[in-house]
Structure 1
Amino acid sequence: MSALLLSRLQFFWVIAWHILMPAFTVGLASFIAFTEGLHFFTRRDNYLRIAVFWTKIFAVAFGMGVVSGIVMPFQFGTNWSRFSDATANIISPLLAYEGLTAFFLEAGFLGVLLFGRNRVPRWAHFFAAVMVAAGTLFSTFWILATNSWMQTPAGYELIGGRFFPRDWTQIIFNPSFPYRLAHTAIAFFVTTGFVVLGVSAWLLRRAPEAEAPRTMMSTTLWLLLALVPLQIFVGDAHGLNTLIHQPTKLAAIEAHWHREPRAPVALFAIPDQEHERNRFAIEVPALGSLILTHDPNGVVPGLTEVPPDRRPPVAIPFFAFRIMVGCAMAMLVLVLLGTILRRGGRLYRNALFLKASMFAAPLGFVAVIAGWTTTEVGRQPWTVYGLLRTTDSVSPTLSSLQVASSLAGYTIAYLIMFPAGIMLILRIVRAGVDGRGTREPIAVALPQTGSRCHSRKRTLKGLNQ
């Protein structure tokens, strides 16, 4: 295997694991800030217990995200030095802004959120929760600005093979950025929502009358009822933007080979890239034009409009996109089912819905990975779309043995770190919102009443009462 292919596999391995953490922590930080706010204004202990419960989970996931993400900047230098050299004047400032405005903000206030509950005023602790949530959103903003510029470059000038900034407003707010930011941010919130829904369902199966899981499930379902349909709408707008700025990618996503009006949509097919056709295709006539252009007579671009060496590997984005859409449809059905059960007063006791919610907890992660794969593989063979090829981005002196060695090391490290982190999160979940069942109950993080000199034993006794 070539150093190029191994470098691409390594980047995929690292990003695929790392993106799972932002997909969870971005939404979870906002959920924690929301519950902290409810507690701050209402002083209800139920909201406090929920906030403490998810804050412990957030701390583990945040740590996993930081460790898994450290590798990525190193890869730019070790594996993609020519890409780094060509784009440094644009990519480096954007990533620096992410570190300065997002990571420092998030990490700094995280310390207050985790350890300051009994050490700072209530308003300061709530403010820290809001700042952590804001930091995750700032991080999403800058990372998506960077990736979107690589997808739809703007505001640059190319001099001697290097990109130089000409207009930072155009660079940051490039043509695909608003759609990509909205689509990704909503995906992260939906991912978190289904995790909260699944955990709530598991807790309710153990204790149907428990107040905290009921609150979590009810709140999350209202959120998902708004976000899942909104995500489908935003995804459609993102598709229209892709039709304008990345028609070849859209053609690959649909495995559409020839430009034509009234184009069909392939529900299923086996793309045959060598012979430029689809095998075993199940198609709906004219529906492709209606979906992709909002006009049944609209013209849909084809892959044969560009030379073969400018086409992405079609099968990967084709199937990844359909996995993403399938997950979205399953999410929508489950949310609608929950809404119906809520109206009938059966939401917290319907065994089928609770089991389905538990099994649906990973759906958001699957959709995020599938969507990211669609976006990044559909961009090939370019790192900067239409301007810098992936083959011209890899480090020139890199050997296959070197990349294989680092890939093996990353594989072992991630297969140790992520299962260990997931097991720790599951242990917290099994302990429940009140922390029962562990030697060190989660409830010890709750604020003590009266003097700060109360013993832990007295605090736990009061909580149990």
Structure 2
Amino acid sequence: MDAVLLSRIQFAVTAGFHYIFPPLTIGLAWLIFIMQTNYMRTGQAKDGYLARFWIKIFSLSFAVGVATGIVMEFQFGTNWSEYSRYVGDIFGAPLAAEGILAFFLESAFVGVLIWGEGRVSPRLYWASTLLVAVGATLSAFWIIVANSWQQTPAGFEIINGRAELTDFMAAVFNPSTIPRYLHAIDGALVTGAFFVAGISALFLIRRRHVELFQKSMRIALTVAFCASLAQLAIGHSHAVQVAETQPEKLAAFEGLFETQSHAPLLLFGIPDPETGTVNNEIAIPGGLSILVGNRTDTVVQGLNDFPREEWPPVLPTFFSFHIMVALGTLFIILPALGLWLLQRKRLMHSTWFLKLLTLTIPLPFVANELGWMAAEIGRQPWIVYRQLLTIHGASFTVPPWQILASIILFVVVYLFLFAVWFYLVNRKINAGIDMVTPLTVKTSLIGNGPAKTNPKGVAQ
């Protein structure tokens, strides 16, 4: 058994499972903020009940996300000690900033969100929804700063075999930070929106709380469409950045072996790394050149420009990237269709579409995982791009059998955690919206006085 390979599998298992929850909670937090703002604006009890329902779902997801994120930090010291020694001076700053500037903010106001209703002022409770969303979004920024530095390291010098920080701002705003951050946050909005839309569709199919979940559906479809459409521009800027800073990764994304102008944008095909060809190719002529340089004669580097030992694994990189892009296209089409059905007042009669939305709940999670895989596998064989090979970053004192045993243990524990999370979320869904526990009187953000609430007579 290879200790380095097992360490990579272990980190992939723990990071991959953890990454189910941050995009969901970030996206959900912003949708809850929209719903709570709507409640404060209208003062109608039904809007408050709707926000309260999604806050309960958010709270369960946040707890599991925190629990699963802690594990990864210990792996740096156990399985990746050489890597930790190399990057410790760099990683300390963004990880400390994440804890101090973001996670504490998010965690404190999550407490207000869960237990503060009726105990704090209405405006503070509304502000807590905003600060939770802001905190979660800031937390993602600092994590992505650390990971982006691995992709495009900057602001450092190698001293005594270690990367030492020389320019904090250059390290934070390294070439890939902003494109990757925007891409991840926008993906989180898509994830939260499809999650809300899918569960709302389930209630509409069952004809439960119809008026409330029609509102929930409209918000979710609007956010899903806008965020998915925004990925076109964000993806373009990200592709330009990758072409400039990690050209062999872009070549693996597109199955491009020969450096060329008028490089095609591959829609379908199966790359063959042994022969340097793409089988069953369907492509847009000159499309890749236009994407990275806005001209068909832009020269795009192919894999054959680089030593074979520095190629990323071509097939996993290629397929994870292309499936993610295909899903992104679907994420534009579906909410556009849903908004059209809403506009035509045909959504409630389109059971086929509502069922389709429930089936698409897992797809943004899959797209997030595939995007992470494309980015991380596409960086190989480097753990710090062109600075430190992955094989040189692993610990040399942990025996393979211990790593394998920990992988098995993590899989068992994570499957249990996921089953508990799924069970609790499903129980909340089956219970429906709690309209028995009265809401506190809310003050309208735009009115001059209190807006009365009435738990009776809300549409079921």
The offset of 1:396, in angstroms, is 1.6
Q: Which has the higher contact order (CA 8 A, sep 6+)?
A: 2
* Number of the residue aligned with 1:160: 160
Structure 1 counterpart SS, 2:258 = coil
User: Which letter maps to 1:417?
Assistant: L
* Number of the residue aligned with 1:16: 16
Stretches (4+) displaced over 4 A: 459-465
User: Which letter maps to 1:444?
Assistant: T
- Superposed, 1:430-449 pairs within 5 Å as 430-434=430-434, 443-444=436-437, 446-447=439-440
* Number of the residue aligned with 2:297: 297
The offset of 1:117, in angstroms, is 0.5
* Number of the residue aligned with 2:450: none
Structure 2 counterpart SS, 1:217 = helix
Question: Which deviations, in whole Å up to 9, do the C-alpha atoms of 1:2-43 show, x marking residues without a partner?
Answer: 010001011111111101100100011111122222222321
Matched, 1:27 2:27: yes
Matched, 1:105 2:98: no
Q: Distance in 1 between matches of 2:21 and 2:319?
A: 24
> Does structure 1 conserve the Cα–Cα contact (< 8 Å) formed by 2:439 and 2:455?
no
Q: Distance in 1 between matches of 2:116 and 2:288?
A: 55
* Number of the residue aligned with 1:191: 191
The offset of 1:77, in angstroms, is 0.5
* Number of the residue aligned with 1:357: 357
* Number of the residue aligned with 1:406: 406
* Number of the residue aligned with 1:336: 336
Structure 2 counterpart SS, 1:379 = coil
Query: Bigger CA drift: 257-266 or 47-56?
Result: 257-266
Distance verdict in 2 for CA 1:40–1:431, change over 3 Å: same
* Number of the residue aligned with 1:240: 240
- Superposed, 1:38-117 pairs within 5 Å as 38-117=38-117
Compute the TM-score of the two structures, normalised by the length of structure 2: 0.93
RMSD: 2.0
Structure 2 counterpart SS, 1:348 = helix
Matched, 1:311 2:304: no
User: Which letter maps to 1:106?
Assistant: E
- Superposed, 1:192-231 pairs within 5 Å as 192-207=192-207, 210-231=210-231
Q: Distance in 2 between matches of 1:187 and 1:403?
A: 32
User: Which letter maps to 1:159?
Assistant: I
Structure 2 counterpart SS, 1:263 = coil
Q: Distance in 1 between matches of 2:196 and 2:154?
A: 39
Q: Distance in 2 between matches of 1:208 and 1:409?
A: 40
Matched, 1:173 2:166: no
> Does structure 1 conserve the Cα–Cα contact (< 8 Å) formed by 2:31 and 2:219?
no
User: Which letter maps to 1:410?
Assistant: F
Structure 2 counterpart SS, 1:270 = strand
Q: Distance in 1 between matches of 2:459 and 2:273?
A: 64
* Number of the residue aligned with 1:456: none
The offset of 1:122, in angstroms, is 1.1
Q: Distance in 2 between matches of 1:268 and 1:129?
A: 43
Compute the TM-score of the two structures, normalised by the length of structure 1: 0.92
The offset of 1:153, in angstroms, is 0.8
* Number of the residue aligned with 2:445: none
- Superposed, 1:421-436 pairs within 5 Å as 421-434=421-434
> Does structure 2 conserve the Cα–Cα contact (< 8 Å) formed by 1:52 and 1:445?
no
Q: Distance in 1 between matches of 2:157 and 2:13?
A: 32
* Number of the residue aligned with 1:258: 258
* Number of the residue aligned with 1:277: 277
The offset of 1:338, in angstroms, is 1.6
Aligned-pair identity in percent equals: 38
* Number of the residue aligned with 1:128: 128
Gaps of 5+ in 2: 443-453
The offset of 1:82, in angstroms, is 0.5
User: Which letter maps to 1:137?
Assistant: T
Q: Distance in 2 between matches of 1:192 and 1:17?
A: 17
Structure 2 counterpart SS, 1:260 = coil
> Does structure 1 conserve the Cα–Cα contact (< 8 Å) formed by 2:102 and 2:135?
yes
* Number of the residue aligned with 2:382: 382
Query: Bigger CA drift: 11-20 or 27-36?
Result: 27-36
Query: Bigger CA drift: 339-348 or 59-68?
Result: 339-348
The offset of 1:212, in angstroms, is 0.8
User: Which letter maps to 1:22?
Assistant: P
Question: Which deviations, in whole Å up to 9, do the C-alpha atoms of 1:99-133 show, x marking residues without a partner?
Answer: 11111111111111101112111112112222111
Q: Distance in 1 between matches of 2:34 and 2:28?
A: 10
